[in-house]
Amino acid sequence: MVYSIRRRTLLQIGGAAVAVPHLWLPARAEAPAWPTQTVEPFLEVEIASGKIRGGHSRGALAFKGIPYAGPVSGKNRFKAPPPVTPWTGVRDATRLGSPALQAPGGTYGEHEPAYSEDCLVLNVWTPAVKDGGKRPVMVYLHGGGFTAGSGGQNIQDGSHLAATYDVVVVAINHRLGLFGYLYLGELLGPEYAQSGNCGQLDIVAALQWIKQNIATFGGDPGNVMVFGESGGGAKTCAVMAMPAAQGLFHKAAVQSGPMLRGISKESGTETARRVLAGLGISDPAKLLDVPGEKLLALQMQGPKGPLGTATAAYAARHPGPASGGGLGQDVPGNWAPVVDGVALPADPFDPAAPAIAANVPLLIGNARDEATFFVRDNPAFFKSDEAGLTALAHQQIGSAADAIIALYKKTRPQATAPELGIAIMTAMSFGNGTVKIADLKSQQPAPVYRYRYDYQSNVPIKDTDWIFRAGHASDISLVFYNYEIRDLQGQGPGLAQASAAMSSYFTSFARNAVPTAVGQPQWPRYDTARRATMLINTECQVADDPDSEERAFWQSWKGA
């Protein structure tokens, strides 16, 4: 029997409007209790590991909390994920599965269960099952750096995207922080050589599951796109450089998450030594017996706790600050994929794009005002004057601060001090890395498409006269065509049109590697001669080498 979404959808495929017929749904017994709830009529399908029961959600079929690998606690901690354990009977797949162990208090999925060390589950949204469909498969890697987040967050619910654009959407949970990226290869030997990439190996296991099972959900295992925002974009960069992932995906998209380099084995080993010291353990093998909650508590103390206290041997070799640094920075106490020579043989995009992904098309970009996200809880920043900006810049950048501020005052003569600060921090954290990856990848055969997200969120920033603008993570709901779910994107004019444009560009790229959207400009392929960039907004436009003088400075800056 073929189950499908029973409505009629008009969508954009390869530049042409196509009517996709579906059968009518029977009346539902009751309305959803929350927007993303999976409701009747329920249905069963059989995958390689057993039967599952899903249902309907927001115009699509939804199957949630499906195990894609086995348990990774106890003896399997810090190892590659084992195969999924088959089950008998029918497994319920109408609710989200457990997110990875992480600091409490974040906003994830609606009615999501408690965190768990055993978290290797995924969610699938599709227009139809068992219909022989060959739909593009869009595999989303959630943000939250490498320490937080979930594949069940409501703004990345895949229902609307699947129903509107006739695609299959998959979102996964995987190991995070210490459980996903603690490198023990030097301390516990070859059996743990890939321990610094367990979170990435989980993603590979999910891709293998997709290859084996996605046809049941109407998806094409030969047309899979991996994409993600922030930490999810960084994970995508790492996946592109992993030999075990090659052939399991065919396109990639990086949203505000450029990661050029991973963690070195030396830094990873130093982090492991600090973990042992913080726990008062001398035998690394005892890490397998420590309760997961105790390991998480140590991780949550961060650079101010034991992880920020260098071991004596390391301190002797590396005088100065013991730890710190942001996403993907090679410093002890940081969590990110480790360049272990096995799972991740080399840095993803330094000094070149990974050769094994030369034929993988890439869509990449960042938001215009990323940094508002990171300073939104500091009202004083938005009231700073030029002296305050200069002091902050010297603290963060050092001796180059004066030259950078002078450049930005020249290129943005009407900007206030906070606006200059936002622009500088955005370029340092996201813009420069995005351009570097686009430049390197454009030297390979597969096409590259670069964008800048410009839609201005009207969400007010508390205790200031600012709005969020095009800040970090405000584009997630637009990509998923979930603009009506309240979040950082706000509720401003033109939001629906901007979301239609962005979701159409992403889904058409997933379909045929050419991003298109009805009523919006044709998107030129990126190269270093023209640097064509799509400015995504209510009315999109193409700009050649936007902010070129600033871009040239950052590319020549030795601190990059």
Query: Bridge-partner residues for 226, per DSSP?
Result: 139, 252
Q: Is residue 184 within 8 Å of 265, Cβ to Cβ?
A: no
Query: Bridge-partner residues for 219, per DSSP?
Result: 135
> Alpha helix locations (H) across 288-378?
292-301, 312-317, 372-375
472 assigned to active site: yes
Q: Is residue 35 within 8 Å of 154, Cβ to Cβ?
A: yes
Distance CA 72, CA 79 (A): 7
Contacts with 62 (C-beta within 8 Å, 6 or more apart), sequence order:
38, 54, 55, 56, 94, 123, 124, 125, 159
First to last CA, the chain: 56
Amino acid found at 301: Q
How many whole angstroms from its chain centre is CA 291?
Answer: 28
**DSSP codes of every residue in 189-237:** -GGGTTGGGHHHHHHHHHHHHHHHHGGGGTEEEEEEEEEEETHHHHHHH
Amino acid found at 206: A
Question: What would the two tokens of residue 210 be?
Answer: 């997709």
Distance CA 159, CA 138 (A): 12
- Three-state DSSP at 362 gives strand
Amino acid found at 356: I
* Residue of 159, 230, 323, 508 with catalytic role: 230
Query: Bridge-partner residues for 462, per DSSP?
Result: none
Question: What would the two tokens of residue 245 be?
Answer: 């992932």
209 closest CA partner among 199, 219, 196: 219
309 closest CA partner among 327, 321, 300, 326: 321
* Residue of 56, 160, 174, 472 with catalytic role: 472
* Residue of 150, 370, 442, 503 with catalytic role: 370
Distance CA 502, CA 523 (A): 12
If 0-12 CB within 10 Å is exposed, 13-18 middle and 19+ buried, where does residue 556 land?
Answer: exposed
256 assigned to active site: no
266 assigned to active site: no
Which residue in the block uniquely carries the two structure tokens 């305050």? 388
- Three-state DSSP at 256 gives coil
79 closest CA partner among 183, 214, 226: 183
Q: Which residues are catalytic, by number? A: 230, 370, 472
